[in-house]
Amino acid sequence: MPAPFSKSGCATFLAPMQDISDAPFMAIFADFGSPDFYVAEYFRIHEYYEFEASIMRAIMSRPCGRPVCAQFIGEDEFYMAKAAAQLGKYPEITMLDLNLGCPAPKIYRKNVGGGLLRNPDKIKSLMRALRSEWGGCLSVKMRLGFESALEFPKLLDAVLENPPDFITVHARTVRQLYRGAPDYKYIAYAVKHSDIPIIANGDIVSCGRVREVLDSTSCAGVMCGRQAVRNPWIFRQIKEMLEGSDIFRPTLGDVRLYIDRLSRNILAKGGVLHADSVLKKFLNFVGLGVDPRGEFLYCMRRARGMSELLKVCDAFLLRDPSIPFADTPYPGLCSRPNHEAICQ
């Protein structure tokens, strides 16, 4: 099945994020400005794999009627093929992604995710196995290499030997995690050297950045993860930019409403220990656009309990709710603490 979008234009994707990309979080984007596609957290495929109920709920939720792509991470061809055949029995699931990019050390040390970028022959055999059993749209999410971006041409050829229907390229290596500037010239290389759509990923911080990446690479779309956590209106803004219409500019008051949605989602799950710590995982990104000195981040990280945490949010965001929320993260601030591997 070909990609459900053209090689030209700009398809938008919400990236998969560990412990974030559930159905309620996707629903926020349905209200704030939906991407064209969502990607769910991965199913870890091995001898004793199962399709986790929470991930299946996210895939089946189809926010705003948009497709949610399933995702596999694994290294065993037999079980990957078996799982693909089993997943194919669900007519609602039309898209499957192979994870070749997760940079978390606990993942790549098991030779899955980004760890597979050390083994082009294994990539070829996994793609053959998935193609043999999966009849829907098949995609790959990859990085430029494990140690060096110089590995990218060889890795791209390995992926294209049994070609997916599109490829998402995070323009960093596995070793970089989320540090340093992404090198978009390799995305331009992938566009030039393949006949399928290429999606750009890595520091898609604003609709202005999207325009730069589209113009410099001729990619078919963009995928946004951490920056969408920071700014859930980013897909709406991208659409407005492409249409040439007025671009929505959220205020701190709008951000406070977003935080209220996040906190309600967390509390609605029930039985969540340290709900304030869960919310802080989001606020570490949101806070990058609240104030240039990072005072919100400082106070938020020291709040104890959900009540105190929300009081900090009120103090900073409702003191003057008409203040614009920064379009891009303020320079010098850090999303900390050790959430570098949040995206899959």
pLDDT for residue 336: 61
Tens-digit pLDDT profile for residues 193-252: 999 999 999 999 999 999 999 999 999 999 999 999 999 999 999 999 999 999 999 999
20 with 264: CB under 8 angstroms?
A: no
Q: Which residues contact 36 (CB under 8 A, 6 or more apart)?
A: 5, 11, 12, 13, 66, 221
88 with 136: CB under 8 angstroms?
A: yes
Binned at pLDDT 50, 70 and 90, residue 339 comes out as: very low
Q: pTM for the full model? A: 0.95
Q: What is the mean pLDDT of residues 329-343?
A: 69
CA gap 147, 118 in Å, rounded:
9
The three-class DSSP label of residue 41 is: strand
pLDDT for residue 344: 67
pLDDT for residue 13: 98
Nearest to 87 by CA among 122, 56, 110, 127: 56
* CB contact burial 187-211 (16+ within 10 A = b; e otherwise): bbbbbeebebbbbbbbbbbbbebbe
Torsion-angle region of residue 156: left (phi > 0), alpha (psi -120 to 50) or beta? alpha
CA gap 305, 283 in Å, rounded:
14
Q: What is the mean pLDDT of residues 166-180?
A: 96
Tens-digit pLDDT profile for residues 266-298: 998 877 778 999 999 999 999 999 999 999 999
CA gap 172, 180 in Å, rounded:
8
As a CATH number, domain 11-243 is 3.20.20.70
5 with 220: CB under 8 angstroms?
A: yes
Q: Does residue 39 have a pLDDT over 60?
A: yes
Q: Does residue 341 have a pLDDT over 60?
A: no
SS (H, E, C) 282-317: HHHHHHHHCCCCCHHHHHHHHCCCHHHHHHHHHHHH
Tens-digit pLDDT profile for residues 59-87: 999 999 999 999 999 999 999 999 999 99
Tens-digit pLDDT profile for residues 298-326: 999 999 999 999 999 999 999 999 999 99
Q: Which residues contact 231 (CB under 8 A, 6 or more apart)?
A: 206, 237, 250, 289, 325
pLDDT for residue 157: 98
Binned at pLDDT 50, 70 and 90, residue 342 comes out as: low
Binned at pLDDT 50, 70 and 90, residue 340 comes out as: very low
Q: Where are the beta strands (DSSP E) in 101-220?
A: 137-143, 166-170, 198-201
For residue 66, give Cα distances in angstroms to 29, 143, 276, 281: 11, 26, 31, 26
Cα of 150 vs its chain's centroid, Å:
24
Residue tagged 């984007």 (tokens) = 29
Nearest to 98 by CA among 183, 83, 110: 83
More confident residue, 337 or 96: 96
Query: Which secondary structure element, helix H or strand E, spans residue 127, and what is its range?
Result: helix 120-133
Residue tagged 């996210």 (tokens) = 58
Domain parsing of the chain, residue ranges: 11-243, 252-317
pLDDT for residue 338: 47
Q: What is the mean pLDDT of residues 251-275?
A: 91
Work out the widest C-alpha separation in the chain, in whole angstroms: 58
Binned at pLDDT 50, 70 and 90, residue 148 comes out as: very high
As a whole number, the mean pLDDT across the chain is 95
139 with 151: CB under 8 angstroms?
A: no
CA gap 127, 119 in Å, rounded:
13
Q: Does residue 138 have a pLDDT over 70?
A: yes
In this structure, how many other beta carbons lie within 10 angstroms of the beta carbon of residue 302?
A: 10
